[in-house]
Amino acid sequence: MSNDLLGPGDVLLESLPDEVVATMEVRDRWLAGLKSADGGLEFLVVDLQAWVPGQRIRVAFRGGDPGLWADIEQATAPISAVANLHLDFRAGGEFRTWSEQDTEHAAEIRVAFDRKGYFSLVGTDSVNPRIGLPQEPVGGRPGQLSLNLGGFTVNRPATWAGTVRHEFLHALAFGHEHQNMRGPCEAAFRWEDDPGYQPTQDNRGGYVVDASGMRPGVYTYLSGFPNGWSRAKVDHNLRTPANTAALVAGPFDPASVMLYRFPALFYRSNPSPCAPVGPGQELSDGDRQGLTLLYPRDDVATDAARGRRENLARALESTPGDDGLESFPGPVAEFSREAAARLRACLGSAE
Ligand SMILES: [Zn+2]
């Protein structure tokens, strides 16, 4: 698949590389084990995935030039204006950069422009060396990129600033609005083909309406050009998961920069309750509310968020079986110790 073949009506959805998703699923199984062991850890996912309120989040670039970097910094200013986080792009006045040879994290968010499409790791995954595979370009190791703005060095789309905000919100642990568990999208998507649909492809391999006017469903549509997604990949990217940061990130907001604009055939009805309202380029009220919930400025909420993470770090460091956590075999205990160390590092760089 090449971007060159894309036409104006083609929908190439954002997605993380498959090997990165596979390592995220290993992490999720570890998390699910922790959750099942104790009903009291309701904030577990959020506290492990999001940064600590007040934390300094460094951003570094590989590729591009200071003009582009300054535009990206500027586009994220509305996020910094709301969230109690310091998005720190510069060291000594100069923009921070990173390289594939780095052996320590130059920044929590490592931006590059040379992969296809747009994507970002979610929250603290960008400093988790178990996310992504060694030797691959994307992951949580120091020499791996965590946020890609493909082609921005050559040609920026008209909606570039909205794309920057969308990807940076992922980097701050936001999921997609269409996967918000309080939202209508799971029920509003046309997952399956129209009854009797005869698989019909255009000359590039995209699934289209058949001779009787029956439409492909979301699974069939995304299996064709230009996405080529498996059923599992559709589930990961579009279905609403049971446990996400959306647990505390507020109600569904159709004006969110985190809501995609899908083709009409994705929806059971048009207009759809899952369809976006407005251009989705600026932070919506719901986006700002989500930032305030995850990264509150008031002292009481900030202290509570820090206290929960300190307790969680202690629980993860304790002998398996203590604090309500189950006993896990070798590598899982290792995951827990590493997660505790990341929590402590984040707590240490929060004000
Ligand atoms: Zn996204």
Burial label, 120 (beta-carbon count in 10 A; 0-12, 13-18, 19+): buried
pLDDT at 209: 96
Gap from CA of 44 to ligand 1 centroid (Å): 22
327 versus 110: the higher-pLDDT residue is 110
* Residues with a beta carbon under 5 angstroms from ion ligand 1: 14
Gap from CA of 168 to ligand 1 centroid (Å): 9
Gap from CA of 321 to ligand 1 centroid (Å): 37
Instruction: Write out the residue limits of the CATH 3.40.390 domain(s) in the chain.
Output: 16-174
Tokens representing 253? 């907001």
pLDDT at 328: 44
- Count of beta carbons in the 10 Å neighbourhood of residue 271: 9
Rounded CA separation 351/348 (Å): 8
Gap from CA of 121 to ligand 1 centroid (Å): 9
Gap from CA of 175 to ligand 1 centroid (Å): 7
Gap from CA of 240 to ligand 1 centroid (Å): 14
Gap from CA of 307 to ligand 1 centroid (Å): 30
Burial label, 23 (beta-carbon count in 10 A; 0-12, 13-18, 19+): buried
Q: Tokens 């030797």, residue?
A: 135
Gap from CA of 258 to ligand 1 centroid (Å): 6
Gap from CA of 166 to ligand 1 centroid (Å): 6
Architecture of the domain defined by 16-174: 3-Layer(aba) Sandwich (3.40)
Tens of pLDDT, residues 179-233 = 888 889 999 999 999 999 999 999 999 999 999 999 999 999 999 999 999 998 9
pLDDT at 132: 96
Span of 82-91, 111-120, 193-202, 321-330 with lowest mean pLDDT = 321-330
Rounded CA separation 179/264 (Å): 18
Gap from CA of 49 to ligand 1 centroid (Å): 16
Gap from CA of 331 to ligand 1 centroid (Å): 30
